[in-house]
């Protein structure tokens, strides 16, 4: 499935602005830096409570206790552990691209560096390359 197909699925959810943001690989995917396997969304407590028991969504919990729900290739995360329990600032400061709110690249870089998986470090390289190869005004718009 293409990035655009995944973003279209998010739009079809008709989620309320100011209550969610796309993170993970989505901020890279919207910039055509790489293909996304799925879409990760962080959501407000209100939206989490609305969706966690919704029919068709599968409740999951990771090894380190992070709750999320999934429906196909869309995952909704309760928080952004282990480093960010309060994700409201990421949602509030999201960058709107093509009608969707994305967590800003600077926050994605910070999170991926902390997480430190090989795929995350490759993403960091891509984002840092992007920052190096754009003029300052353009960079300020995207981060």
Q: In tens digits, what is the pLDDT along the chain, a chain of 143 residues?
A: 899 999 999 999 999 999 999 988 898 899 888 899 999 999 999 999 999 889 999 998 887 778 899 999 999 988 766 555 678 888 999 999 999 999 987 877 776 666 667 876 676 677 666 666 765 555 555 44
pLDDT of 135 reads 56
CA distances from 130 to 6, 24, 121 (A): 23, 17, 14
Cβ-proximal residues to 61 (8 Å cutoff; 6+ apart), any chain: 67, 68
State how beta strands 39-43 and 20-23 pair: antiparallel
């Amino acid at each position: 499935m293409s990035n655009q197909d995944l973003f279209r699925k998010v739009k079809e959810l008709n989620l309320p602005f100011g209550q969610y943001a796309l993170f993970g690989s989505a901020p890279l995917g919207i910039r055509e830096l790489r293909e996304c396997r799925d879409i990760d969304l962080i959501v407000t407590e209100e939206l989490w409570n609305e969706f966690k028991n919704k029919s068709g969504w599968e409740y999951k919990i990771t090894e380190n206790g992070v709750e999320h729900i999934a429906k196909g290739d869309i995952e909704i995360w309760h928080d952004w552990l282990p480093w960010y329990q309060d994700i409201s600032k990421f949602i509030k400061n999201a960058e709107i691209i093509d009608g969707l709110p994305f967590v800003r690249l600077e926050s994605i870089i910070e999170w991926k560096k902390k997480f430190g998986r090989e795929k995350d470090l490759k993403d960091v390289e891509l984002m840092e390359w992007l920052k190096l190869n754009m003029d300052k005004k353009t960079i300020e718009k995207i981060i």
